[in-house]
Each structure stands twice: as structure tokens, then as C-alpha cells.
Amino acid sequence: MTDHTSSLLSSRSRPAWVLTGFVLLVFCTGTAEYLVAGVLPQLATDVGVSTAAAGQTVTAYALGVAVGGPLVTILTARLPRKGLALSLGLVFIIGTLITVIAPTYAWVIVGRVVSACSQATLFAIGLTTAATAMGPGRQGRAIAIVSSGLTVATVLGVPLGALLGGNLNWRIPFLIVAVVAIAGVLILWSSMPRTPAPATGVRDEIRTLLRGPVLLAVMTTVVGFAGVGIVFTYLVPLLSDVTGLAASVIPALLLAYGVGGFVGNLIAGRFADLDLGKTLVGVFVALVLTLALFPLVAEHPAPMIGMVLVLGLLSTATIAPLQSLVLRHAGAAPTLSLAVNVGAFNMANAVGSALGGIGVSAGLLRWGGFGGAVFAVAGLVLALLALSTTPQEDNQ
């Protein structure tokens, strides 16, 4: 952002309220993604499809984020940020309401895709706005605060869907999400300052995305975070079938995992402000060791519970450092790069769950941690390569 934009944000905005508005909207977009997993049987029965087909509404949302997000960012590159943020919030609300009133499966898919297309760009605007509002030297914390909306959604999305949708109607949780999103839009409308349209355009955004360190950061997200997906996607059967934990213990452990992710994200954001390189390398080294230990302690309940809690802390600790790395190299045109990196986390989940599924089908449920560790090592190597190029060298 320009110095003029920065001064406008600091003098006319109320940063706490701006952050609150973006956190609410990021929470809503993340929750909408995870809610479906908690209401699949009810959704399938209501619209007359199989449970497997109903599960494809998750895929539709993920594709909307990964594919639609960058396209929306490119098409809106020259629009003023406040108007764009409010418009994207309304697009999400409209898409969610389409899902609420959808009479058929096809309309559910339409609603999911419409709402998903807003997520990546909205998230990216929230990150850049928060980083500017909080000032120099606090980018990591700004990113962590906005991202906390997503980590809370990860913790609460499926349980909220199961609790509200299972006891009432699968459409009710989506209606509640739409109402909360309306609150987020109203908060931004009243607190976010109007700023001039960005001086940068589509070519600047694409040129920034194609910089070596930015591409390396995105690749690091896909490859490094996929290692978490390999283990976490099949964590429940691992804990029940291999570790032998009681079914009543596992939900509480998963909740603790999610809380750990929330805390780890905030801690990593603070450390990223102090030393981005050491934070990113430290997180990946810890992730490699933790994932590699999973197969070794899988049959022992006490250490396994400890490993799950540690993995929870590390699961989202890459978000703030990697997005900070993108901001470091993106200069004045960071929105597309940040949006693509948001989609990269979705892609990492998809890759990790697919590869983990192949391993489970081959009877390797216990040993998935070794595969995850290999991906984390690759992520560490890519992160080191991205960190080795300074912004000054990158801009030459």
C-alpha cells in the first residue's frame, strides 16, 4: 500500500473494529466450508442424493476458493478496497442464502461455488488492510489475528454443523453463518476507511505472483502443509484402530487439537515479527520431527495424546510466516499472491487427504506420519530457498 493509503488508515479508521469485521467474515467463509461435513446425511436425504454426492459440495467449495478466488482477484485488481471488501461480503452472503433456500442438489452446488469465490480475495484484502492498520513490524501479528477467524472455524465448523443441523435442520447453520456475515459487513461499512483505487493493476499483480520467492512461498504452502493433511484427515481411525482410544475421548482431543491450532497461529505471528526466517524454519523442523514420531508412538495412548496436541499447535503455525513471506516479496501488489496462497492451503488439504487415503487403502494407516514428514522436509527446503532471496534482490 502507498504511504497515502497508510496514513488514511491510521488516521481515519478504527483498527480494532476493522480487524473484528474481517475476522468475522473470515470465520464465516471458513465455517461455511466445514459445516457440510457435520450435516452430510441430512443434506443427502433432503435433496435426494447419496452421501458421497453430498460430500462433493465440499469439493465444490474448495474449487471455488482455489480457482475462483484468483480469478476474482484479477478481475477486481483496480477497485477501491473498501467497496470491494463490502461487495465480496455480500457475494458470500448471497451464495450462502442460495444454499439455505436451495430446492435441489444443483442449487446447493451453485450456492456453494458463489459463496466460495469471495473467500480468497476477501481474506487477502483483510490481511493487507490489517497489516497496514497495525503498522510496521507487526505484520505477522496482523496476519495471525485475521487468520484466527479461519482457525476458529476449523475448530467449530463440523461440531456446529452436527449440533445445529442434526438436531434441527441442515439449513439452519448456514442461515446463522449468513447472519454473522451480515454483522461483519456492517462493521466494515462503519469502520473501514475509503481509500483511493490501487495504483497497481492486473499486470502488476501477475508479475508479483510470478516472482521466484512468491512462487516458492506458495509451493511451500502446498507441499509443506500437505504433510499435515496426510495425518490429520485420518487421525480419527488412527486414534481408534491403532492407538485404541475410547470413542468418547476422541472428540475432546480433536477440540484440543483445534484450540492448539488457534494458539499456535497467534504465537507464530508474534515470532514472525521478531524473526521471520527463524520462525518459518523452526516451525517446519518441529513439524518434521512431530510427524515422524507419530508412527513410532501410535500404539501408546499417553504419548500419542501429547503428539496430537503438539501437532495442533503446529498445524496452523505456518500461516502467518508464509503470508508474511509473501508480503515481504510482493511489494505494492500483494493481493493476488496472498489470495493464491490462501487457495494453496485448500490445495494442500486436498493433496494430503488424497495421498493419505491411498496409504490407508494400502494398509499403511499407522505409517502415514512418515509420508507427512517427507512432505514437511520438502516444505522446509522450499522455505529455505524462498528465504535466501532478499526483497532487494527480488525487485531488481
Length in residues, the chain? 396
Per-residue pLDDT of the chain (396 residues; tens, 9 = 90+): 444 444 444 444 578 889 999 999 999 998 888 787 667 778 888 999 887 788 788 778 878 888 888 889 888 888 898 999 999 999 999 999 999 999 999 999 999 999 999 998 998 899 888 888 887 778 888 888 988 888 888 777 666 666 666 566 889 889 999 999 999 999 999 998 887 777 777 888 888 888 888 898 899 999 998 898 888 878 878 888 899 988 778 878 877 888 888 899 999 999 999 999 999 999 999 999 999 999 999 999 999 999 999 998 998 888 889 888 888 887 777 888 888 888 888 788 778 878 888 888 888 889 999 999 999 999 999 999 988 876 644 444
Shortest CA distance to 92 belongs to which of 78, 112, 77, 75?
A: 112
Contact, 130 vs 142, CB < 8 A? yes
CA distance 104 to 49: 10
Crossing angle of helices 81-101 and 105-116, rounded to 10° = 160
Q: Where are the alpha helices (DSSP H) in 298-334?
A: 301-315, 319-330
CA distance 141 to 270: 5
CA distance 330 to 220: 16
Cβ-based neighbours of 354, under 8 Å, separated by 6 or more: none
Domains of the chain plus CATH, in order, are 3-191 (1.20.1250.20), 202-395 (1.20.1250.20)
CA geometry: angle 119, 144, 24, nearest 5 deg: 45
What letter would DSSP give residue 193? P
Cβ-based neighbours of 390, under 8 Å, separated by 6 or more: none
Number of other CB atoms surrounding residue 322 within 10 Å: 28
Three-state DSSP state, 196: coil
Most distant CA atoms of the chain, gap in Å: 60
Shortest CA distance to 325 belongs to which of 274, 385, 276?
A: 276
C-alpha cell at 325: 513471506
CA distance 382 to 377: 9
pLDDT at 162: 63
**How far is residue 215 from each of residues 69, 126, 179, measured CA to CA in Å?**
17, 21, 37
For residue 375, how many C-alpha atoms fall within 13 Å in the half-sphere facing its CB?
26
Contact, 14 vs 191, CB < 8 A? yes
pLDDT at 166: 59
First to last CA, the chain: 19
Q: Which amino acid is at 64?
A: G
pLDDT at 42: 83
Q: Where are the alpha helices (DSSP H) in 64-138?
A: 69-75, 81-101, 105-116, 119-134
Cβ-based neighbours of 243, under 8 Å, separated by 6 or more: 298, 299, 300, 301, 304
pLDDT at 7: 45
